[in-house]
Every structure is written in C-alpha cells, then in structure tokens.
Structure 1
C-alpha cells in the first residue's frame, strides 16, 4: 500500500522533509510529516480504544517523553492498529493536533480523552496508509513529526495540546486514539509548579464482631496480595503519601500471628518521616453520628500511633454540613471532602484546602480531594497502552491546572479511598510521570496544611444528606447512651479501665464505616453491644423488698443493694417519696463489696399518715444512674404512736384499779365478817364473875389458837386480834338459832 506522504516515493519524501526543515527554521508550520507503517503481529491486550461494535481499535506503543520545545522539537508516536473481528482493508491513519492552548481547560482535557472515532481530530498533520490487516491481526504505524509541522511556535502559549490518531476505511472512521503533548515556548520556567498531596485510608474489614469471621477477613487483608498488604507495599516507598490509620486494625493485626504482626510492624516502622493521622478506633461513621445528633466516639490510642495527629475526620463520600459540624465538635477540625463536595465554581482550580463555617459557628479546615486526579492515580492497572495514555492524561491535567494561573502555585489533593486496592508498580509509574513532567510533584500533606486556605468560590455543602447504608439514628443514639452508662458504671469501681477496655470497643464497633457493605454482620455487632452493656447495667441492683410500715414520727427503712461486679462499688442512694408526708433525712453514700449484698438503712421522718411510694435511684460519682430505678411502698401511720401510748395508759389504769378491787374483794373473809358483828359490852356494867373470868381465859386460849390461824391467813390474823380483845372484853356469840350464849 502506498503512503500518502512518504515511504514508497522517496524523492517526494525528501522534498517534503527539506520543506519542513526550512519552514521549521522560520517558525512556520510544515505541510507534511514523515510516517511509516508495517504489518505483522503486535502485542495484544485489553482494548484501550475499542468501538462498541468491535470493528477495530488503536493502542499506543510509544511516544516521546517530555514536553515539546524549541530545544526538543521532535515527536515520535507509534501506534498499533488492531483489525478486530473483521479484516481491515484499504485503511489510513491520520495524525491530528488541537493546538488552541487558550481553550485547553480541564473540561477540554476530559472531553478530548475519548476514543470515539467520530470525535474531533484537530488539524491534520500526517496521513499514513495502514497495511491490510486480517481479522484478529494488527499493524504498527509510526509518525515522526516536529513542532513546526504541528504548527507550534512562539505564538503558541505554554500548555497541553491534543493529539489524535484516527483510522478510517472506505466507510469512514473505524477507530481512534487521543492523547496529549505539552508545548513549552520557553516560558515553562515561569510557571509555578502544581503540588500533589496524597493521602491513603488504612482501614480494614469490620473488626470485633464474630471473632472467627473478623480474624479471617483481616488475615486475608494483611496477607500477601491482600488489600492492606498492597496498600502498604504501594505507599511505603512513597514517603509523601500520608496515612489515615484505624488504630484498631493495627492492634488486631498484631494479634493475628506472623503475617499480621509483620504487616503491623512494617506499617509502624514506615511512619517515621511520614504524615500519619490516627482515625478514631474502629473508624466510626461520622455521618451516622451526625445524623443522630451524637458526637463521634474516640477510644484511647496506645503504642506508636499514640504520638501521631488525631485531628482528622474522613467521612464517607461527599460530607454534608451536619457531618462536618459533628466532626469539628468531636475534636477533628480537619475534614476530608471527597466526591463533588466543595467543587470550584470558577475557571481556576483552587488549592486543596479551604475553610467552612459549621452550624455552631466553628471553623472546619476542609482537605478537598481532586476527583479527577484521584480517579486517575487510584484506577486499576491497565495494559501497556492504557498506562501510557493514562500517564499522559495525568500530565495534561496538571498542565491545564498550571496554565490557568501560571504565577499561582497550588497543591491538589489525592485521597485514596478505604476500598483502594493498588498495584504497587502501577502507582509508582504514575507518580513518576507526575514527577518527571517538570511542573508537578508530590508534596507532604503537612505542607499543604501550613498554607493559607483557599477563598475561591465553591459549591456549598448540603445541609443534610442521609445515605441509606448508614447505621440508623436510633441505634446510634442507643450506642451513645450505652457509652454514657458505661462511663457512669466505671466511675463507681476503683479500676474503671478493667471494665471499659472490654465493653467500650463493643459499643463503638457497630458504627464502623466497613459495616456499610456488611449489613448482616452489623446486626450481629449491635446485638453483641447490647448484651455487653446489659451485663454491666445489672452490676449493681436494688434487691426488691416488701412494704414497710412506719408507725412512728421517725424511723429507718432498709434498702438492700446487690453488687454483681468483680470490684467493690461506691454508689449513692437517692430516695424520692412521691408524697411530702414522708421526708428523707439524708441520702447515704455506701461502698458495696464485690459480688456481695449490703443492707443500707435510711432514716425517714413522717409528717402525716398515708401510703407513700418511694423511688430508689443508684447513682455513680458523676450523678448518673448506674442501674434501672426501682421503688417500694411505705405505710406511714405516724399518729399510731400517740394513740398507742394513750391506749396503753388506759389499759394500765384499768389493770391497777382492777387489782385494787380484787385485793379488796378477796380480803373480806367469813371470819372478818363475823368479827364485824361482835357486840361490845357496856363498860359500866358490873365486874365479871369468876365463871366469866374462867370463860375469858378459855377465850384467851382460843385467841391463841386464833393467832395461829392468823399466821395462815390475813383473815385469821384479824380474827385473832379480835379474839385477844375478847380476852379483855367478853363477847356474846349468837348460836345457830340466833340466841346469845
């Protein structure tokens, strides 16, 4: 097949070359270019520019490195034309250039990087016949042109230019390849460089759920060819790549055995001289906490990561204002913004740091990732052609940024996501392409943070946008409340860390970002968290008791506490009656021994009578409840004490009167009654006769017998006394018939 420019007709080729050189010296564009073509078998790989019908494709084999300039005017481009499923006959390849630097914005770069055969081709520079190619075969085409032939001169501004290779047959274009070349007319040294700061999230699969599953997933991630192993391998040799590390992943990996500990040791060993940020342990979902109105939990960080910065928050996807506000309130004033968040609205790409005022008036420093550069650097590896085109696109992006404001230096941010699984060699080659461009290079993110934030106009953050995969606000609220309860419970024991180190991680783990893609495992983690806090919530309990009866103005009610914790518990009892008729003198503070019961007396005062319900709270040192409140009833009968005293006094009086009456009644015996009836003779009567005296003596003897009888009974004594009197004074005793003798 015959070339349209050179090759088969050597004299014409020589003439065109001489003309090109002459015009080049004058700085004018040349009308033609040198080209060559050969048929054969070329290396094949994934199609980089394949039409949807699979008719043909074009891949890039090689291209001159570096920008074109007056000192380096030559450009050599070699492509391979693949016939695809059908043979390719009578085809030609055209090389074109779009050299309007003034319009070559980043949007133009994105539009030009397309393989549509019917897309723009620019100004034609060279045309080359393509040898007939059988189905499944390929042919190589090489273009050799210089800057004059492409129309590049002093009149062309510094910046990126578009190149296109379009293959056509008799029916029209069948395949195309587009790429970029940079032109430097000698002003490149005046262009301020574009820095690129890279930061990678070093987070793992969900941790601290099912120990077997979690260990297995993490083991796979840190083992050879695992994602975290690839992240470490790809970034360790690039010291300007910052890390945002989940400390729990490092701790968990250290306990997995040789592979896990080796990975953790390698990571910690590479932190020297690198910007490292410790994310909150378990990588909790900032957006989920924000949308629940709770602060992001941050567990203590130990080991080597305890000394790194801990002021960075990395929400998932574009953050809303609520998420940014929560991050700042939780102690992370640096917030990574990815996706289309805070996209610039002007024609100039601003530097990658800006400030946002939060909903409470605070200020967040936003680290804004450049979506395009992130996608290019983080993309999966391609074949040789795809990688060559991608590296050209990277260089073109930074050149377009630099050309926007050549005197204004800026730093763009590349944020590698939590799911990034890099190929170390591919990343190294892409970063090297940036470094060799001459106007862009990687810089530590700390250098960016030391610069003044950009004030360029950006799209505002949405007020509130909830992702359906976030942990439900009700569950987040429950977990936050459980952590507050745990803090209260731990405050009552002498060694709080012994409780918190076990339970607190279980209350944070369910909110991990990694659970967004493992919803079933998240449910298990939530259940485990509930079980953990419930076991402690019952650590100190009020033992239910019976109803108390209070019948005095003051007395004690006893509250029995049970401590199921392995440590003694210092608590304060607060009793609150629901009626003012019962008053609590003082709410006591007590120490309940470990795994023991303690009866606590509480003094109460009764103001009136009635049934009073008393609520019982067990509070920690910070005044919050450490167990569920309980209650008991007190039957207050304060007047019963006075009534009982009066009744007792009356009863005692009645007993006294009854005793006296009984004594008096028992003392009137028959003998005393008979004595009461004795007649006393008249003293003026004559002297008694002898018989009467004898009778008196006899009576005296009877009196002696009466005295004996008196010793046996009071009545007898009385009778004896009366009989003694009878010895002096004769008596007359009636007989049974009433006569006196």
Structure 2
C-alpha cells in the first residue's frame, strides 16, 4: 500500500522567458549534465541521494504510464511493482516520479537516457508517495504515483510535443535504493506530421521432411506392374512439432493472437505450413481454420516460396533455379489454402549469410522485393532516421530491398536487448518516443518504417499486442499496409553495402545444393519421354526443395540425411524403361540387324531413342531409331549394323531422350564380327577378275607381237638363203645338207 504525499511544486508553463532560458542552459538533454556524482543529492525536496554503486537493492518494474500520450491538463499516473532484492529491510520506502523537461532531438539521445546508470541524475521530482510498510528482503509492493497536471510543467506550444525523460525512484530516507527510467510522451497539438509504419510477420513452421511411400503389394497385377508413384518421396513435417507450435502456448498460436485485431499487420506465409496444418492434428487444424477464415482475409498476404528455401545457400551454389521451383510451387497453391489470393513478389533472406549474391538471386528471378535483416544495409548517418525501403545494384540488375528499423524491431521482439529490465509499459513508451523523434526529425519528409521480426520469433503476447496498439493509435503514426511500402520510392539514404561474400556454416553446402539440382534435372529429362510428364514428376519438386528450408539450419546432420534421402528417392523413380537382355551375337555379314526389345513399365506411353554403342570402330550402328511404346507394353526395334573388319567388340544398348539423356539401364552384349565368304569372296573375285583382265590383255598383246616376229624371221631366212629344217608329218627329218623348198605365202594381190 502507498500513502499519497503532498504534490511537489511544479513549473508553470508560462514562466518568464528569462527563467526558461536559464533552465535550457542549465539542463540540456545530454548525457554529461544528467550524471550525478555518486553520493550527491538531487536538487529538489525529497528526492533521495543516489547510492555509491550502480547496483540498487530494489528492483523497480513500471507496469503502467497513463495516459501513454499525455496532453495538457491531464494528470499522469505511474504504476509499478517494487521488490527488495537486497539483504536488509528498506525501513522507509518512498516512491518519487522524476521528470526531465527537455526534449531529446535524436534517437541516440533516447538511448543515452536509458543507458544512464541508476546512480545518475534522473530528472526533477514532480510527485511522491510513501509506502505504508517497510520493504523486507524478498518482499514486493505495488506503487502508484499520480502527478497532477499542474506539476507537469511542460510548455504547451504546438511545437513542444515529443518525448521527455521519466523515472520512478525508490528512496529510503535520504538515499536512492531503486530506479527505472522510461519516457513521457507530451502532445500539445493533434495536427502533427505522421510517419508511416508497416509490420510484416514471417509465418513459417517446422522443417519439412521427406517420407517414402511404397506401393501396396495388393494393387500389383504382376511383377512388372510398377505404378508411377511407387517408392515416391513425399514432403511432410513432424506432426508433434506442428501440434506444439499451434497449441495455445505455441509460437504459431502466439503469432495468431498478436495479429488478431491488427488488420494492418501483413503476413508472409509458407504455403507448405498451411498445407500441413490443414492435414495435421486438432491444434493444427483449428489454427488453420482461424488463419484462413478470420485472420488472412482483409490484410496483405504474401506467399513465401514453398518450404521457405535458404536464398543464401542457393545463391552461393549458383542455383537460383531451385528457388524458382519453390516459387512455382507456391504460385500453384490453391487460393483456398490461404483463404485469399496471396502476392508472390516477395522473398525473405535468411538470418545470416545474406550478401550481394543473395540480392542478385532475387533480381535474377525477377522478384519485386527482398526482405533482409536490420543488421544489413545500415544507414551511414545515424543522426537521422532512414526509411525502410531502399534498392541495391547487383550483377543481375537493381533489386528493391526492405530493411526493418533495427530499434523498433528489437523493441517488438526482445525489448530487454534495448532496455535491460524493460516492461510492457516501458517498451510501449520507448516505441512511442522513438517514433516521435523520427517524425520530428524532418516533418516535411517523414519516413516509412518497417517492423519485421525474425522467423523464429516467439512473441510475448501482452508486450507485442501493446506495441502494435501503440503503433496504430499514436497521433504521429499511420499504420500502413506493407504493399504501400513496397510501392513507395527509395528515400535515397546512404547505407553500407551488402557484403560481397557472407557464407555461413549453418547453410546448406554447395555440393548438397548441386546434388539436389542434378537429381531434379535427371527427373525432368526422364519425364520428357512420357506423353504425360506431370504424372511422373508428382512430388519430386517438393521433396528436392524441402532440404533447402531455412528451418533446417538448426539441424545440419538431419538435413544432410534428408538430402541423401531426397536424391535417392528421386533416382528410384527414374525407372520403368528398359531393354530386354541381349545375347552375344556373331555378325557374319557386312550389313545386318540387331533386334532390340524395348520395355515400358510406366503408366504412360513413352517415346525413346534406341542407341547401340560399339566400343570399337570395326562395327558401327547405322542409325538410332525412335519408338513409342505404350504403357505396360514392349516393342521390338531393329537396329542396322555395318561390319568393316574382323573383331570381337563390346556393344552397349540403351534408351535415350531426344536430347541424348540416358533413361534406361545399359545392356551389354558381345559381337564377334567376321564378315561372310560371300562378302569377302565378292571382293576377292572382283580383284581376281581385274587381275585376269589385265593378264589377258597382256597375253593378247604378247601373242600379237610373236606372230609378226615369226613371219618376219622366216622371210629374212629365205632372203639370206638360210632355210630352217622342218619335219614332215609322218616322215623323218630332212637329210643333212638338203634344203626344203618353201612356197612363199600368197600375197594379198594373189588372193
């Protein structure tokens, strides 16, 4: 219990100009003058003396500053809970509200105020109460202090609106034993400039896995009946994990609770999560029903690529195509799954590893907007607030980027990282102070700010709800859909560039990404032979995209096993086309055929090319015939061969697509090539005939020459009187010395 004490004298807003100037000179809102030496006393009345160290025995938790935005003529009420964490009793506890009446002009000054040590000066006393009982060690007590409007002492000029430093001090006699700092928001005019603020929640679930489904043996009609989806891989999530996330205390249930009642909050949703929730357990189905029927309608909704792939991993491996596949899967998700027609022109970068290649990936895919973390593209001039929309130049062109406001993001998701010991009330006051200063920085050119928490944010529902309420109700703020921010222009603020390379160990390795991409390319090629390729590819893309999910960064070992499973499962599906075994054969003719039996065990017709590939040049295939084989049938295809020499050669028989991609196991056989006597004889006979022809001509010529030579010799003998002895038929040889009379041959004239 607290007992009101008389209000401390306040400052009149209409003091003389001299007094005001003196105050401005004496108490500027900077760190130095606010710091009081340890053990010094504050200047007014009953304010306590600071302790000699930064550690206070009493913890002060402000639970309410009412109203959050104070207007002239209103009383200020500060409520808190105090707890004695020390070892001694606080005998005479007293609570005092202190106010620094000077307006900070930069957001850095806001941080400087909250960073001050608890021993530092904390403002001028405005009102105090004395607790009715001593505060024993470990004891807690509620505190409520009302500051009358007359004691506020702030100027009421139209331009004097904005934040002021506010503190609640606990004293014990003449010393300070506890303190918490926050802000008062002073509003002197309703017609003030407005800063646009957008809020975007990423809504993703647990990592998507892959399960293997096999054919029920009872459906097979024979050993060769293999359905298209036999041994198919199908994506799924851990149902128990999803049930936990969508239960009343789960992260997804909390996101839903925070979003409820705030139509300006946009969602970027993984459609894989919605599909799994629709088919999940009771909590998941209840969550899905509320999301699709009451939450998403009427607000900006963006469909993330299916399974929320890791953009950085895909970019570093050079496989933007896999992210494109995930986007296609999202685009193909029925609108009924969302309850609305979502936009698909937004990508969300992973928490680490984002660099220039990640932005280039988004530009390559032609995605309008990339959301990055607030730790990237930091404004170089921190004295002014930069808008959240910017653009970066990449190797693939200019890419629009949304950069959340770092301080506002932290206040929404983890306020104690900004103000240690922050409560819901102090968080709201800090958000209002930050946005008020940002609005006042350049009233003629106010910025558009974005709050976009991380994927794994598990909101504190009361604090997050209070922050969103404040963003929607503050007079200097305008809650605006994210689509408006996307459609706005770049503010042109100078920012640090994206890192050139920022690989991280948590991301999927390039080798694993390449394995997934190769498996998909093989599946696409295999399906191209079918007259219904889609039926052969059902579930393939989902199973190969699933290991890319950002959620798998938390389980690298499980992800590696999933990659192997997805690749193996895809390869198992590339079956159903084959060549019947071929026996070894003798090729005994220069030209011959091999008859190849092509089998199609698929559920669709397939058009394939039959190729024979001899290992030696002594045998060649004259052509590669193309054949269409009906589902569950086989065709015999003759393939012409040409033998050019004797040899023994291994021949590979296989089926390919029109582009040469192999789609069947290779069948080997041996060909013993020995062209027949008929073939060789023809060549030999031809050669012999040619030789005989030449010899005949030569002989004929030689005979002609011998006859003429003989006639000429005989004539010469007669002319010289030398006559050869010629035997007489049936008689003996002429006697030696006798001369046979030879009648000369008749001349042409005598004939």
Provide TM-score, normalisation by structure 1. Answer: 0.74
Q: Which moved more, 1:395-404 or 1:81-90?
A: 81-90
Match of 1:218 among 231, 235, 242: 242
Q: Which moved more, 1:446-455 or 1:415-424?
A: 415-424
TM-superposition CA deviations, 1:6-59 (whole Å, max 9, x none): 94xx7xx7xx74x8459658895699989999xxxxxxxxxxxxx996721112
Find out whether 1:589 has 2:626 as its counterpart: yes
Partner of 1:294: 319
Q: Give the 3 Å change call, closer, same or farther, for CA 631–408 of structure 1 in structure 2.
A: farther
Q: How far apart, CA to CA, are the structure 2 residues paired with 1:330 and 1:611?
A: 53
Q: Post-superposition shift, 1:447? A: 0.9
Q: How far apart, CA to CA, are the structure 2 residues paired with 1:128 and 1:163?
A: 16
Partner of 2:448: 411
Partner of 1:671: none
Q: Is the 8 A contact 1:27 1:153 kept in 2?
A: no
Q: Is the 8 A contact 1:337 1:368 kept in 2?
A: yes
Partner of 2:495: 458
Partner of 1:277: 302
Match of 1:345 among 367, 370, 380: 380
- What are the equivalent positions in structure 2 for 1:598-637 lying under 5 Å apart? 598-607=635-644, 610=647, 616=653, 618-621=655-658, 623-627=660-664, 634-637=671-674
Q: Is the 8 A contact 1:91 1:167 kept in 2?
A: yes
Q: Which moved more, 1:459-468 or 1:545-554?
A: 545-554
Partner of 2:470: 433
Partner of 2:691: none
Q: Post-superposition shift, 1:145? A: 5.6
Q: Give the 3 Å change call, closer, same or farther, for CA 261–67 of structure 1 in structure 2.
A: closer
- What are the equivalent positions in structure 2 for 1:58-457 lying under 5 Å apart? 58-68=60-70, 71-72=72-73, 74-85=75-86, 86-89=88-91, 95-101=97-103, 103-114=104-115, 116-122=117-123, 132-135=134-137, 136-138=139-141, 140=143, 142=145, 144=147, 150=153, 152=155, 154=157, 157-168=160-171, 173-184=176-187, 186=189, 189-191=191-193, 193-209=194-210, 214-256=238-280, 258-269=282-293, 270-295=295-320, 296=323, 297-298=325-326, 299-300=328-329, 301-304=332-335, 305=338, 307-318=341-352, 319-346=354-381, 347-360=383-396, 362-379=397-414, 386-457=423-494
Q: How far apart, CA to CA, are the structure 1 residues paired with 2:142 and 2:272?
A: 54
Q: Post-superposition shift, 1:221? A: 2.5
Q: Give the 3 Å change call, closer, same or farther, for CA 256–126 of structure 1 in structure 2.
A: closer
Q: Which moved more, 1:277-286 or 1:423-432?
A: 423-432
- Name the SS for the 2:428 alignment partner: helix
Q: How far apart, CA to CA, are the structure 2 residues paired with 1:564 and 1:125?
A: 88
Q: How far apart, CA to CA, are the structure 1 residues paired with 2:238 and 2:13?
A: 71
Q: Give the 3 Å change call, closer, same or farther, for CA 27–602 of structure 1 in structure 2.
A: farther
Q: How far apart, CA to CA, are the structure 1 residues paired with 2:54 and 2:600?
A: 73
Q: How far apart, CA to CA, are the structure 1 residues paired with 2:468 and 2:683?
A: 102
Q: How far apart, CA to CA, are the structure 1 residues paired with 2:366 and 2:582?
A: 47
TM-superposition CA deviations, 1:408-436 (whole Å, max 9, x none): 12221111332223355543322112222
Q: Give the 3 Å change call, closer, same or farther, for CA 99–546 of structure 1 in structure 2.
A: farther
Q: Is the 8 A contact 2:355 2:498 kept in 1?
A: yes
Q: Post-superposition shift, 1:596? A: 4.9
Q: Is the 8 A contact 1:575 1:614 kept in 2?
A: yes
Structure of larger gyration radius? 1
Q: Is the 8 A contact 1:510 1:522 kept in 2?
A: yes
Q: Give the 3 Å change call, closer, same or farther, for CA 395–565 of structure 1 in structure 2.
A: same
* Count of matched residue positions in the alignment of Structure 1 and Structure 2: 622
Q: Which moved more, 1:403-412 or 1:532-541?
A: 532-541
Q: Post-superposition shift, 1:590? A: 1.4
Q: How far apart, CA to CA, are the structure 2 residues paired with 1:419 and 1:426?
A: 17
Partner of 2:709: none
Q: How far apart, CA to CA, are the structure 1 residues paired with 2:535 and 2:54?
A: 63
Q: Give the 3 Å change call, closer, same or farther, for CA 148–213 of structure 1 in structure 2.
A: closer
- What are the equivalent positions in structure 2 for 1:527-538 lying under 5 Å apart? 527-538=564-575
- Name the SS for the 2:503 alignment partner: coil
Q: How far apart, CA to CA, are the structure 1 residues paired with 2:291 and 2:379?
A: 35
Q: How far apart, CA to CA, are the structure 1 residues paired with 2:378 and 2:177?
A: 37
Q: Is the 8 A contact 2:580 2:599 kept in 1?
A: yes
Q: Give the 3 Å change call, closer, same or farther, for CA 486–129 of structure 1 in structure 2.
A: same
Q: Is the 8 A contact 1:355 1:454 kept in 2?
A: no
Q: Is the 8 A contact 2:300 2:482 kept in 1?
A: yes
Q: How far apart, CA to CA, are the structure 1 residues paired with 2:63 and 2:508?
A: 49
Q: Post-superposition shift, 1:451? A: 0.8
Q: Is the 8 A contact 2:159 2:188 kept in 1?
A: yes
- Name the SS for the 1:60 alignment partner: strand
Where do 5+ consecutive residues of structure 1 fail to align? 38-50, 651-741
Q: How far apart, CA to CA, are the structure 1 residues paired with 2:292 and 2:152?
A: 54
Q: Is the 8 A contact 1:121 1:164 kept in 2?
A: yes
Q: Post-superposition shift, 1:454? A: 2.5
Q: How far apart, CA to CA, are the structure 1 residues paired with 2:113 and 2:471?
A: 20
Q: Is the 8 A contact 1:561 1:598 kept in 2?
A: yes
Q: Is the 8 A contact 1:35 1:128 kept in 2?
A: no
Find out whether 1:492 has 2:529 as its counterpart: yes
Q: Is the 8 A contact 1:61 1:385 kept in 2?
A: no
Q: Give the 3 Å change call, closer, same or farther, for CA 642–397 of structure 1 in structure 2.
A: same
Q: Give the 3 Å change call, closer, same or farther, for CA 568–119 of structure 1 in structure 2.
A: farther
Partner of 1:57: 59
Name which structure has the greater RCO, CA cutoff 8 Å, separation 6+. Answer: 2
Provide TM-score, normalisation by structure 2. Answer: 0.73
Q: How far apart, CA to CA, are the structure 1 residues paired with 2:443 and 2:523?
A: 57
Q: Is the 8 A contact 2:167 2:182 kept in 1?
A: yes
Q: Give the 3 Å change call, closer, same or farther, for CA 389–283 of structure 1 in structure 2.
A: same
Q: How far apart, CA to CA, are the structure 2 residues paired with 1:459 and 1:629?
A: 56
Q: Is the 8 A contact 1:339 1:371 kept in 2?
A: yes
- Name the SS for the 1:534 alignment partner: helix
Where do 5+ consecutive residues of structure 2 fail to align? 24-41, 212-234, 688-751
Q: How far apart, CA to CA, are the structure 2 residues paired with 1:334 and 1:365?
A: 5
Q: Which moved more, 1:291-300 or 1:540-549?
A: 540-549
- Name the SS for the 2:370 alignment partner: strand
Q: How far apart, CA to CA, are the structure 1 residues paired with 2:549 and 2:16?
A: 65
- Name the SS for the 1:332 alignment partner: coil
Partner of 2:604: 567
Q: Post-superposition shift, 1:177? A: 0.7
RMSD between aligned alpha carbons?
3.9
- Name the SS for the 2:465 alignment partner: helix
Q: Is the 8 A contact 2:269 2:304 kept in 1?
A: yes
Q: Is the 8 A contact 1:353 1:365 kept in 2?
A: yes
